[in-house]
Amino acid sequence: MKTQYLHRLLIGLIIATALALLWHRYGMNSVLRIDAKSPLLMEAIDDRDNGGQTRSVLKRENGKLLLECDVSVAYQWPYCELAIKLKQPPDGVNLSKYDTVRLAISYEGPETQHQVRFFVRNFNPAYANLKDPTTLKVQELVYDPGLYAQPLEIDLSRFTVASWWTNNHKVPIEHLGTDFSNVSVLEISTGGTLVAGPHRITMDYIEFHGKLISPAAFRLGIIASWVIVMIAYLLADAALAHRALMASSRQQASLKRINEALRVQTQIFAKLARHDTLTGMLNPKGLGDELFELAKKQSDLIFPMSLIFIDIDHFKQINDQYSHSAGDQVLKNLANLVKDHIQNDDLLARWGGEEFLLVCPLTAVQAAAEMAEHLRQLISSRTWPNGIRVTCSLGISELTAGEDLGEGIKRAIAALHAAKENGRDRVEVEHA
């Protein structure tokens, strides 16, 4: 009789799980739309506050927002932008529950190629100051609207923290990645290099798309439901067995099975929180935890420590030419290749987008440079799926005992930028 009940319970759970997954896949959608009718503070900003002469004006025509700029090169980096204030810091809007953003934006200007920069600025008291708006974290997407069908839909995971912002602010390692949990301002800006003359950015709308419940939370909910139902079944089974046999040993065995199931689930949840879901490598939080434990156990015995930033060259072109799934496969294969050719004590983390950070305890910068060159050659000579040509730029710095980790990371990022500026597919070292 118990077997029959169990079969019915399992069939019911399977059907309920399938229906829930279908509902989540095709329903439970959440959309945040921002357009000319949105009751938000929107304003035009230009370089006049920096001593420039660019003049901008914001208009509303036919349900669209028009940012018209008369660009002057009197300032070294002329610009104009449309700022959309979602809330006044320290308040913000939680955009982390959304997966993608759709940008219906067009650009007109005297250049042959146009560039729009879309900024998502987040407030967190760990790194932001209410008295200084520039401390809001700058997460950016830079693209040419003329190269894509309108609207452009892109995953929020493709955004990166602007390196110039990271270099200008001292940010704890656990907050170096992207963060959309408390967004105060959205900005649509002209590109980095402008030609003098009239420019116009037209915004039809911005839409953030996601699920009312995130996929990760929903999956955890499904797992938790199964665990709860099975635990309930085991408890009921234990109660019936105790009543029928009056044997405490049967009840103890049932409780042991329940505790083991809970322990396994707890380990799974802890691993998911510390590792990148795509590559399986550590994420920034997991790397921070590992470094903390390492320093706690070995203290100064981990120094000198070398930091190696690895960035895939022209990764956007790989996504555009071969699809995002091909790009994801390159990320996974590269992570596994690096993992197989480093020391056991080295820590590899996906830093965000196409960037990885390799932390090498007890490794001087010269040895790290030799390792980095070996990795660079392995990557460039490897045969990749679909005939994709993959190369990487690597930046290295050495961290000494007593030095702030953030300073070492800044030097490694500077070395990475130097590798890119000097032609990519190379290794550069930034000394203290």
pLDDT at 253: 55
Task: Break the chain into its structural domains and give their ranges.
Answer: 2-28+214-274, 30-211, 284-429
Q: What is the mean pLDDT of residues 4-23?
A: 78
Superfamily of domain 284-429: Reverse transcriptase/Diguanylate cyclase domain (3.30.70.270)
Q: Assign 150 to helix, strand or coil.
A: coil
H/E/C letters for each residue in 1-48? CHHHHHHHHHHHHHHHHHHHHHHHHHCCEEEEEECCCCCCEEEEEEHH
Q: Assign 153 to helix, strand or coil.
A: strand
- pTM for this one? 0.49
Strands 427-429 and 392-399: parallel
349-394 pLDDT, tens digit each: 999 899 999 999 999 999 999 999 999 999 999 999 889 999 999 9
Q: Do domains 30-211 and 284-429 have the same CATH topology?
A: no
pLDDT at 298: 65
User: Which has the higher per-residue pLDDT, 275 or 214?
Assistant: 275
Structurally, at CATH architecture level, domain 30-211 sits in Sandwich (2.60)
H/E/C letters for each residue in 155-183? EHHHCEECHHHHHHCCCCHHHCCCCCCCE
What residue type is assigned to position 169 of the chain?
H
pLDDT at 263: 52
In whole angstroms, give the CA distance from residue 193 to residue 29.
Answer: 39
